[in-house]
Each structure stands twice: as C-alpha cells, then as structure tokens.
Amino acid sequence: MRLKRIACALALLGGALSMLAEAQPVAREANAASAASKAASADARRRSQDTPFAFRGIALGITLDEFRAGSTVRATPIGSVPVCETDVQAGALGMRLKSRESLTVACRWAHRADDGWAVSQAVVDGAPALEHVLRFARVDGQSALRLYEISFVIDEITAEDLRDALADRYGTPRLVTQSVSSSGAMPVYVWENAVSSITLCFLPGTRNGTLTYLLKGSDAWVKSVVRQWQASGAEAG
C-alpha cells in the first residue's frame, strides 16, 4: 500500500509539473500581450498630443474642400448639408458675402424647408445644439482654407454630461474660474494638447454652455488674414 501511495504521489507531482510547464508559456504570452497593449496605448497617447482634436470625426485643420466633400454631417434634420459664406467678422472688413475668394469662411449645417433654406441644429452629445459654427481661414499664406475653430452653444444638462465624457476621453481638464460681476464665478474647463484645445464654459445666468474646439495659434493667423486684407485694398473678397 505504501508503494502505491508513493506511486500516486509521484504521478500527481508529475501532473502538476506538467501543468506548470504548460502554464508558463501562456503566462508569458499574456504578459507580452499586456506589455504590447500598454505600449500601444502609450504610443497612441503620444500621437494624440500631436494630432488636432476632432468633433465626432471632423478634425481641426482639414480643408474646406475636404469638409464639403466628406459625408460626415453632424446635424439634424436628416439631409442637412454645410452652407458656407464669408465670416461675418470678415464681412465687417468689406469682404463680399458668399465669395469664393474670401480669406475667412464660416459654415453652418442647413436644410431645405418649405419656405427656403433653414439653419439646422448640430448634434452634440446626442442633443441638438442651440447654435453652431465652423470657421475656416487661409493659414500662413496657404491657398487652402483650413478649419481652425468649431463652436457650439449647448444647454446646461448636455454641457455637464459632455464635461464628464471629455474627462473620460482626454483626462482631467484644467479648471479656469473667472469672476463675473453679480453672477458669481463662471467655470471654464480646458483640455489641450500640443496643437489644439477644447474649452467648455458655463455661461452665467442661463447656465448654457459654450463648447469650442480651437487650433493653437489661430488668433495670430486670423489677425494676419485681417492685416493681409486691409493691406491689399482689394474691392472684392
């Protein structure tokens, strides 16, 4: 009986060693997969630092032609299309509205209504925005108009939900609190990378939110466009 017990013990030991030997390659593969996943995530984070932010697939920096040609329409009702014309700020300088030669252009989604064209509502975080605009400019003397700003006005509930969603995607924002006369503090949340920023601001009074995607350096570009236009003395824009 003792010999049988020894034989059984040896058999069990052999089985355990065999299972351990089989488990080691699996563990090594799992560790390697985990390391590869972490490396890929770190690489993606590094790349994202040099990639402009995008609103639901519409990336800052794309050209106006790319925006118009794309099938991505983030607005309601179905069938909305981008309608673009000279930015009102540029119109104040004397540029003709709806001119193809404009140095700055503003686009909104619109749709055909019974009495003509009507502005559509951009869809932000699953809810219709109160206002929206996408702005393009000819950057640094380039011939192509490029998207430098996307902005929305959204309701308070959507703004709060979006703040949490952006924090999950891009991390904890930088909180900027600005004093407002009699309305208390106005919270402003900023996410940024090397080339762009997203700013979510809660407005006093209404508590609506403004959401702005912006290419860094765009203020200087737009001022350059204005100087270029003023210096040219052109009659048409």
Q: Do residue 187 and residue 222 come from a single domain?
A: yes
pLDDT tens for each residue of 3-15: 455 444 444 445 5
Q: Do residue 41 and residue 142 come from a single domain?
A: no
The predicted pLDDT at position 9 comes to 46
The predicted pLDDT at position 49 comes to 65
Q: Do residue 36 and residue 121 come from a single domain?
A: no
The predicted pLDDT at position 41 comes to 47
pLDDT tens for each residue of 157-194: 999 999 999 999 999 999 887 555 545 668 899 999 99
> Rg of the chain over CA atoms, in angstroms?
28
* Count of domains observed in the chain: 2
Q: Do residue 70 and residue 93 come from a single domain?
A: yes
Q: Kindly state the DSSP code that residue 12 receives in the 8-state scheme.
A: H
Q: Do residue 38 and residue 60 come from a single domain?
A: no
Whether 86 maps to a domain, the answer reads yes
Q: Do residue 45 and residue 73 come from a single domain?
A: no
Q: Do residue 19 and residue 76 come from a single domain?
A: no
Q: Do residue 171 and residue 90 come from a single domain?
A: yes
**Considering only CA atoms, which of 187, 186, 193 is closest in space to residue 216?**
193
Q: Do residue 226 and residue 146 come from a single domain?
A: yes
Q: Which two tokens stand for residue 2?
A: 């003792």
C-alpha to C-alpha distance for 211 and 166, rounded to whole angstroms:
11
Q: Is residue 120 within 8 Å of residue 172, measured between CB atoms?
A: no
The predicted pLDDT at position 31 comes to 62
Give 150's strand partners: 134, 213
The predicted pLDDT at position 138 comes to 81
The predicted pLDDT at position 195 comes to 95
Number of C-beta neighbours around residue 95 at 10 A? 23
Give the domain range for residue 42: 1-49
Q: Residues in the chain with pLDDT < 50?
A: 3, 6-13, 16-17, 20, 26, 40-42, 44, 182, 235-237
